[in-house]
Amino acid sequence: MNFTFQINKFYITCLILFQFIFAGTTGKISGKVVDENNQPLIGCNIIVKGTFLGAATNINGEYFILNIPPGKYDLTASMIGYGTVTVEGTLVMVDLTAKTNFFLKPETIEGDVITVTAEKPTVRLDQTSMSAVVSSEDIENLPVTDVGDVIELQAGIVRDPNGGFHVRGGRSSEVSFWVDGVATTDSYDGSSGLEIENAGIQEVQVISGTFNAEYGQAMSGIVNVVTKDGGLNYQGNLDFFSGGYHTNHSNLYSISSPFSSWQSFTDLNGDGNWDYGEILYDLNGNNTWDEGEIYWDRNGNQSWDGDEGTEPLNDDLGYDGYLGDYYDYNGDGKTTQPSPGEGNGRRDWGEHQFNLDNKGYTEYLNVFKNIFQQSNISGSLSGPIPLSKKKLTFYSTFRYYHSAGRFYGRKLFSPTGIFSDESVVPLSPFSKLSGQFKLTYNIKSGMKASYTGYLTEKAYKNYDSYYKYNPDGILNNFESDQSHMLALTHSISQNTFYEFKFLNFSSGYHQSLYEKSDVPYSTSILTEEEMQQINIEDSIQIRTGYDVFSTIPRYGVQDLGEDQYQITDFADQTGYIAGDQFITPAWSFGTGGTQNGRFSRNTSFKQFNLTVSSQINNTHFIKSGILYKQYDMWADDKFLNYKTVGEWSLTQNGDTLGYNPLAGARVTPFIPTINPTYTSEHDYFRVNPKELSFYLQDKIELDELIINAGLRFDFFDPDWKIPENEKLPGNLKYFLAKTNNDTSLFWENDFSILHKDVIILDSLDQQGAVAIENLFITGVEYDSTSQSYTEAFNDQLLTYRNTFRWENGFNKVEPSFQLSPRIGIAYPITDKGVIHVSYGHFFQVPNFSFLYENPEFEITNNNNGGIIGNAALKPEKTVMYEIGFKQEITYKTAIDLTIFYRDTRDWVGVSPTIKKYPVGNYRKYENKDYANTRGFTLVLDRQFINGLGGGIDYTWMIAEGTYSNPQDAYFDAQDNQAPRLSMLPLNWDQTHTLNFRATTGGKNWVASAIGKLWSGKPYTPEFKTGTISGSGAFAGFADNSERKPNVFDLDIRASYSINLLGLQSKIYCNIYNLLDLQNEFSVWEDTGRATYTLTAKDVPLTDPGRIGHLQEHLMRPEWYGEPRRINIGLNISL
């Protein structure tokens, strides 16, 4: 009686207090309890200490506990008449089963407890595919800064220079990112929508092999991050670190004066400063000519003479006076205005020489002198909410991180072209603010609700070497990612539970140059004669680089009849300026201008999940789930173009239209104009695609075999249209209009048909006329003030045209669906070894950027209409095969060998050229590319015991395909290359990858290291000089036929625990690229190295208009990996 009561009491307690986590975020503990005679004990209670989880053994003495978050746990087995046994340190991993058996002896002393320490299994016998698990403890002790550093250490993964991950040869967009059991991938480009900070991570699971049916919309791999939960006790943590770059290669990143050949001079009076009349030729400032210094040999004696300066601008210019640098303004071959002019140490109107600092030599600035280029503060706090009786718990983290980056420039110019303050500024700064908050409430018996919120804000600039001396012209980039998740969990029985989850996700990006939108565009324009009559002390001239002639004042252009110059104000250095207003020769940095492209987008979706999991018996664990996802996505891609003179003007009587001969001329000064969305220069779309999926998975655990079998169904509706006629994308490309009984043919962009009465008669199709409803527009009145018609007619015509096109020129895309069977088998050969085989079909909807690019299919009437999106793209498909063997070879040391093959079809590529009627062509995205990958991984792993742990993994892999990127075929066609018909190495084909990690430590200290040795990725060699003609002419090297240099990197970390004011603290130091090696990730095509090229061997070392030295342009710091970086930090546990 008492025995039955104990079983029922414990069972009821479990039902009341059971906690469950969503599928894909938890593991399972199972085992058997026997007595001293190896007989099963029925009704023995197993409790997971520190939680409300537990179970009771069945008639066979077996038990299982479901949905345990990953981590280490202590288990207690107790039964009346037997001594209590506690097993400490049972390790639980996501989607795997931890086996823990108990051996109970009859109780001899009341309250006697036997404690046993569980051993982490070296080989997981139920693992049916290749995967790696990294715990929070591992992350804390390794020199890693984010999840990406953890991912790239896993076998079979290649990281490209842009940070993308290629799993077993796939494209970077083929990896799905999951957080707490929910996919958070940004479907626009396949990137990770949420970035969880290290402090909030409980475990990272990286699946590089075949994955179960519960994971969808991925073809290469899964990154599954499980975050920490709030516990029943308060815990807190603060972490601070700062640091910067300390390199022996500072010359690669240093800043010099960009005017070395212009600043250098002979200091005739010896006062150490440049004075008016002193010659500019002494490059190194030693007051004499040295080999390599450029001069003009005026007397032809092939040697330098004291009165000879630098070479003239061109051969037809003469020499007048002893100054060798000048502009021949009037073309008479003589120096009409001396240069450097008045010698006031700065550039004035008419001068082309610069003398900024009067030092007379080239000064290089070490930008890494500041050791605090990076700073970070992060923290976490968790525990129960006060007054909630520990039913309401929370977990929260925050982080602020700022880095100045490793690229610097000098503000010599403002965007308007005037001189700036010469301050040194970072060209690639990066800041991030992130937060995470999780709230969990146990509502009642077997029911739990939770809320989880994530927020990440980023602000950064992308390095652009052209703006090295005009850094304010570089765009600012902003990202904002956030997620709000509500979950309700209900346990039906000890064996079965379900969970309903709602997710509201948003990932946004936008660009801007200035914080305010009302900054001035530019100022006035003057002729050269007018400029010479004004005071130039507070302004400077900028030659526009083009001529504009106009007789129509209302268009903002004057009939100047000569080159125009723009005057800008020293006091106002902001404003949008077109880059081509500044005339610079080849191999020169910019002297002004702004980046005028603008791109913004947002991916939002609402997702509903219902998941049911059940351990129906000791053998079968069934998972099933249904998901519905509704997107709201938009993207806006535009350019700040010149405002131009319109095509139509009025005759003198104001009654009829006439074509303006100045149509298309730029209005000056520069006024940025955004073209309408119906033009090819402005793409905007907003779509609401839908996803629906269902999966069924069975994990069959037999004594001698473990099988993971599943089937997945995916449905996708793109909610968009495609052109009905490819030769007339959009169908209505031109129309007939009747004006005053005169019928004329107008192209679709001719919307300025400003007439009072217009009737749209027909749309014309290559196959014949298509009758449409007549449209009669009236009420368009002439405005005598503005000398133009109102825009009412244009608006009505545009609305009618767009509505007609969308309803008549397109066909709605039918939804797609597919079934994905997957199976994995693990066959334990011993209790320390297992063989696994797996096979699966994996489908993925292409990136939304390929589906909706140029969504209105606006094609220009030329031979380069670009690429249009294709919402009818089929899901890409990969079939994956894998076989592996894992065996413990010595105590706590195992070896893992896995062989794999991937076959990818329906990869997104670009179609052949499509001829557009009547002229022009374009291409579209379509499923045509192919790729395959084969290789093997060899992993040796040792658990941390006796003060030493680590591992080493080697991957040999061949990744080949038709094209690495969908756009490659388009670019090849632009270069008149034939379509590729053979398989070539993909851009990320890294044949040999060797990673290793090691950790050692003692009572108060831990040291670790990470090493990476990678073979070079492929590149396409190219001749820069020389030609071969005749029958033996060389057509060129095959794409990706040569290899870049190998890459080696070594990172280390050391930490020491101390007691700081009674708080457990830790000081640590991370050093990245310890050996300060210059790893070359991009190279010159003619040499295969980043260090030198023959490209510019015929380029003159100096050019009077060049900004920057030639050698400075040939150095490409962005082609190298990060130099040595040192971070020193303090971690405090509260």
286: confidence class by pLDDT, cuts 50, 70, 90: low
Task: Specify the pLDDT at position 442.
Answer: 82
Question: 809 and 732 in contact (C-beta within 8 Å)?
Answer: yes
Q: Which residue stretches of 819-967 are H helix? A: 848-852
pLDDT over 90 at 1014, yes or no = yes
Considering the chain, what is the average pLDDT of its residues? 75
What CA–CA distances, in Å, run from 1008 to 997, 1012, 1065, 1072? 7, 14, 18, 12
Average pLDDT over residues 69-75: 85
Task: Specify the pLDDT at position 917.
Answer: 66
Q: Which residue stretches of 1068-1119 are H helix? A: 1110-1114
pLDDT over 50 at 802, yes or no = yes
**Full DSSP string of 304-371:** --TT--SPPSSTT----SS------TTSSSS-SS-SSTT-SSS--TT-----SSS--S--EE-TT--S
Average pLDDT over residues 1000-1007: 93
Q: Among candidates 919, 1133, 1005, 908, which has minimal Cα distance to 174?
A: 908
Task: Specify the pLDDT at position 1022.
Answer: 85
Question: 762 and 772 in contact (C-beta within 8 Å)?
Answer: yes
Task: Specify the pLDDT at position 24.
Answer: 60
Q: Which of 272-276, 878-882, 922-926 has the lowest mean pLDDT?
A: 272-276
Half-sphere exposure (Cβ direction) of 817: Cα atoms closer than 13 Å: 10
Q: Fold identical between 2-117 and 374-518+598-642+675-724+814-1133?
A: no
pLDDT over 90 at 628, yes or no = yes
Domains of the chain by residue range? 2-117, 374-518+598-642+675-724+814-1133, 734-808
- Using a pLDDT cut of 90, give the percent of the chain over it: 37
Q: Among candidates 443, 351, 458, which has minimal Cα distance to 399?
A: 458
CA-only gyration radius of the chain, Å: 35
Going by their DSSP bridges, the two strands 182-183 and 175-179 should be labelled as antiparallel
Q: Among candidates 922, 987, 448, 981, which has minimal Cα distance to 726?
A: 922
Going by their DSSP bridges, the two strands 221-227 and 201-207 should be labelled as antiparallel
What CA–CA distances, in Å, run from 13 to 118, 236, 447? 26, 31, 13
Question: 845 and 716 in contact (C-beta within 8 Å)?
Answer: yes
Q: Which of 18-32, 450-464, 836-850, 927-941 has the lowest mean pLDDT?
A: 18-32
Task: Specify the pLDDT at position 866.
Answer: 82
pLDDT digits (tens, 9 = 90+) for 376-415: 999 999 999 998 888 899 999 999 999 999 999 888 888 8
Task: Specify the pLDDT at position 752.
Answer: 32
Q: Among candidates 355, 415, 351, which has minimal Cα distance to 582?
A: 415
758: confidence class by pLDDT, cuts 50, 70, 90: very low
Q: Among candidates 130, 208, 170, 157, which has minimal Cα distance to 878?
A: 170
Task: Specify the pLDDT at position 1017.
Answer: 96
Measure the CA angle with vertex 206, ends 204 and 209; round to 5°: 160
pLDDT over 90 at 464, yes or no = yes
Q: Which residues contact 271 (CB under 8 A, 6 or more apart)?
A: none
CB count in 10 Å sphere of residue 80: 11
- The pTM assigned to this predicted structure is 0.77
Q: Report the 3 state secondary structure along 163-204.
A: CCEEECCCCHHHEEEEECCEECEECCCCEECCCCCHHHEEEE
> What span, in angstroms and rounded, lies between the C-alpha atoms of 1015 and 955?
11
pLDDT over 60 at 851, yes or no = yes
Question: 44 and 57 in contact (C-beta within 8 Å)?
Answer: yes
**Full DSSP string of 1002-1039:** -SSEEEEEEEEEEPPPEE-----S----STT----PPT
Homologous superfamily (CATH) for 2-117: Carboxypeptidase-like, regulatory domain (2.60.40.1120)
Q: Which residue stretches of 704-745 are H helix? A: none
Pick the most confident of 539-553, 775-789, 989-1003: 989-1003
pLDDT digits (tens, 9 = 90+) for 77-89: 988 888 889 888 8
pLDDT digits (tens, 9 = 90+) for 191-222: 888 888 888 888 899 999 899 999 999 999 99
What CA–CA distances, in Å, run from 736 to 739, 774, 920, 1046? 10, 11, 21, 63
Long-range contacts of 53-59 (CB under 8 A, 24+ apart): 53/14, 53/18, 53/19, 54/10, 54/13, 54/14, 55/14, 55/494, 56/7, 56/10, 56/11, 56/14, 57/32, 57/33, 58/618
| More confident: 275 or 910 | 910
Q: Among candidates 473, 535, 482, 532, which has minimal Cα distance to 505?
A: 482
Task: Specify the pLDDT at position 834.
Answer: 95
Average pLDDT over residues 948-971: 92
Average pLDDT over residues 820-838: 95
Q: Which residues contact 44 (CB under 8 A, 6 or more apart)?
A: 33, 56, 57, 61, 63, 77, 78, 79, 82, 102, 104
Sign of CA dihedral 541, 542, 545, 548: negative
Q: Which of 456-460, 749-753, 1050-1054 has the lowest mean pLDDT?
A: 749-753
pLDDT over 80 at 572, yes or no = no
> What span, in angstroms and rounded, lies between the C-alpha atoms of 1010 and 131?
19
Q: Which of 375-384, 769-778, 1012-1021 has the lowest mean pLDDT?
A: 769-778
pLDDT over 60 at 1133, yes or no = yes
pLDDT over 50 at 648, yes or no = no
Q: Which fold has domain 374-518+598-642+675-724+814-1133?
A: Maltoporin; Chain A (2.40.170)
Going by their DSSP bridges, the two strands 565-569 and 810-812 should be labelled as unpaired
879: confidence class by pLDDT, cuts 50, 70, 90: very high
pLDDT digits (tens, 9 = 90+) for 94-106: 778 888 899 998 8
> What span, in angstroms and rounded, lies between the C-alpha atoms of 59 and 872?
57
Q: Which residues contact 617 (CB under 8 A, 6 or more apart)?
A: none
| More confident: 280 or 833 | 833
Q: Which of 74-83, 403-412, 445-454, 736-745 has the lowest mean pLDDT?
A: 736-745
> What span, in angstroms and rounded, lies between the C-alpha atoms of 894 and 938?
11
Residue type, 758: V
What CA–CA distances, in Å, run from 1132 to 236, 628, 1060? 8, 43, 8
Q: Among candidates 951, 808, 826, which has minimal Cα distance to 882?
A: 826
Average pLDDT over residues 325-337: 35
Average pLDDT over residues 643-665: 52
pLDDT over 70 at 1008, yes or no = yes
Rounded to an integer, what is the distance from CA 1105 to the centroid of its chain?
36
Average pLDDT over residues 720-748: 51
Task: Specify the pLDDT at position 979.
Answer: 73
Average pLDDT over residues 1035-1054: 90
